[in-house]
Structure formats: C-alpha cells, structure tokens
Amino acid sequence: MSPLPNDRRVWTRYTANRKTVNLSEADTEEISWVARLQDLSRSGLGLLFKRRFELGAKLTVEFLVPGRDDPLPLHVQVVRASQNSKGEWYIGCELVQELSEAELQDLLKPTSP
C-alpha cells in the first residue's frame, strides 16, 4: 500500500523501467508507438511517452517477457495525462483486467540488453 494518506490505490505500485514493444489505440492496429513503462501495479501502469492521449482512450500495450514467445498484451484505459519539463507525457492507465501475481512479477523482471 502507498504511504500517502490521500492515495486510494488498492495495490502496491512498483517502479519499473521497460520499453513497450507496441502501443496502439484499441480501434486500430495500423498505427503503433513505443513508450517506456515507469511504474505498475496489479491494476494500472504509468507510461512515459512523446505524445498525449485523451482521457478515456483505450490502448493495447505489449511487453516482451522472459520465457514467453509472444509479447504480453495489456488492455488499458487512460485515466491521467501530464506533461513534464522535457515535453514528455506521463500517461496513467487503468488495466481492463488486473494482472495476476505471476504477470506482475514477469513485468518486474529485468529485460535483456
């Protein structure tokens, strides 16, 4: 649980640093982008990105996971968007389906260089 008294998160949020393999809007697979995973919990994730997404946008985010042949696809909805001093966007997302403990641990494992 988060130590902040006003933080209402149910799940612990972990710091992460992993590139996405693919990020696309739910209604199209023709356009895809790359983002960097900043943090995640069993119910959400935070991405650092070069463009803004509208609140409510539905995205599919894919990650390479050690031991899996195919990327792990996660379906999310944007619930927060804020720009930092470098012009990058932090995109906070809620997962459509919570991660299992095994999926969470897989995403926290370091990736190969």
The per-residue pLDDT for range 1-21, each reduced to its tens digit, is: 344 445 555 668 777 777 776
Of residues 50 and 28, more confidently modeled: 50
Radius of gyration of the chain (CA): 14
Tell the residue number behind the tokens 């799940």, with chain if given: 11
Question: Residues 74-102: what's their mean pLDDT?
Answer: 94
pTM over 0.95? The answer is: no
d(CA 74, CA 109): 17
Q: Which pLDDT score is estimated for 80?
A: 95
Question: Residues 68-91: what's their mean pLDDT?
Answer: 92
pLDDT digits (tens, 9 = 90+) for 56-79: 999 988 888 878 888 889 999 999
